[in-house]
Amino acid sequence: MSTQIPSFAVVPGAQVHQALTGQEQQIIDLVEAAYRTHGEGDSVNPPSYFLRFPDRPSSRIIALPASLGGRTQVDGMKWISSFPENVREGIPRASAVLLLNDQRTGYPLACMESSIISATRTAASAVLAADWLTRGLPGGRPRRVGFFGVGLIARYLHTYLAGSGWEFDTIGIHDLDTESAKGFHGYLERSGVRGRITVHESAEALIRSSDLVVFATVAAKPHVTDPGWFEHNPLVLHVSLRDLAPEIILAACNVVDDIEHCLKADTSPHLAEQAVGHRSFIDGTLFDVMSGRVTPAADRPVVFSPFGLGILDLAVGKYVHDRIRERGDLQFVADFFHDLSRHGEAGPRGGDHG
């Protein structure tokens, strides 16, 4: 029997959004499973590849190839662009597609709109880390949260905090763009949060008034430089990776998603490594924490710096693909693969559209 080539589907953002809406805890659990699979060695996650432009130095497009085993069993690649100047034009900074490949034949299964998938896995990863890094705290989970940078990623991260049971007495906002701060304030009010919402004029005021600090900026180099702002030992979700000066990193308990991935491309931990010539300031990975090999320090700030692994995009993307397929709503491209024989004879046909 000849091998059947899988059908190829295109999954637009509306379908992705529908498949993920209201699934916050399920996606957090899925991301945890992917981290465990990666930690156990059943994945391939090469370095990300950066396409940069001499005439547009602030912009980039990144390729994240990966392969995930475990219960997901899929190969693929995210292709995500970051064009910060888009914000001035009123459109999101990032856009992305995700390709899923069949592990048996290598043929692509789907091309998916992936800015939503990327934001979702980023939020789920950060919230998962917040859960594990605050377990066992005498006072329980932090009740004061501050968002530094309040674009799309901050909105998704708050949605995932709220959707997985986090509640806050106060919610702080700080953004260099006044309109962004107003927009996020409006989102919070519409979401029905119970805590007091405060827009802070300064970064220092936001950080000092928060026990959980979320960095979700577009900063290309460190702009927060005073370790004293963190003397109350908050948990810092350093999602945007380049906000904190090496002095802050070196004074903290540092947890990353993957050491080799995170300590490159001039991230704050990478700059800290360059400053001191070693990596001993990294306490471990999130998998180490989940496995009980690392216990977060209670007498220092705890900083989680996730580089963002392609395996997480694959896990979330495959979940979306399979949910839509099970409903019978995948939009297939008929005869996408055309010349399927080596010598012109009748060759294997594409799979059915069921």
pLDDT, tens digit (0-9, with 9 covering 90-100), for 250-302? 999 999 999 999 999 899 999 999 999 999 999 999 999 999 999 999 999 99
3-state secondary structure of 199: strand
Residues 6+ apart with CB under 8 A from 67: 43, 44, 45, 74, 75, 76, 103, 311, 314
Task: Considering the chain, tell me which residue range(s) the CATH 3.40.50.720 domain(s) occupy.
Answer: 125-305
Q: If you average pLDDT over residues 139-160, what whole number do you get?
A: 95
Interval 313-327: pLDDT, tens: 999 999 999 999 999
pLDDT at 349: 52
Maximum C-alpha span of the chain: 72
Q: Which amino acid is at 222?
A: P
Q: Are 294 and 284 in contact (CB under 8 A)?
A: yes
CATH superfamily of 9-117+310-332: ornithine cyclodeaminase, domain 1 (3.30.1780.10)
Please state, for a pLDDT cut of 90, what percent of the chain lies above it. 86
pTM equals: 0.92
Q: Say yes or no to pLDDT of 354 above 70.
A: no
pLDDT at 323: 97
Q: Say yes or no to pLDDT of 346 above 80.
A: no
Q: Say yes or no to pLDDT of 25 above 70.
A: yes
Model confidence at 347, in pLDDT bands (50, 70, 90)?
low
User: In terms of C-beta distances under 8 Å and separation of at least 24 residues, what long-range contacts does 15-22 make, across chains too?
Assistant: 15/320, 15/324, 15/329, 15/331, 16/112, 16/113, 16/114, 16/116, 16/117, 16/320, 17/116, 19/319, 19/320, 19/323, 19/324, 20/116, 20/117, 20/120, 20/316, 20/320, 22/163
Q: Say yes or no to pLDDT of 175 above 50.
A: yes
Could you tell me the fold of the domain covering 125-305? Answer: Rossmann fold (3.40.50)
Model confidence at 1, in pLDDT bands (50, 70, 90)?
very low
Structural element, H or E, at residue 174: strand 170-174
Mean pLDDT of the chain: 94
What are the backbone angles phi and psi of residue 208, rounded to the nearest 5°?
-65, -25
pLDDT at 89: 86
Interval 86-107: pLDDT, tens: 888 888 888 999 999 999 999 9
Which conformational region is residue 19 in: left (phi greater than 0), alpha (psi within -120 to 50 degrees), or beta? alpha
pLDDT at 22: 95
Q: If you average pLDDT over residues 4-24, what whole number do you get?
A: 95
Task: Considering the chain, tell me which residue range(s) the CATH 3.30.1780.10 domain(s) occupy.
Answer: 9-117+310-332
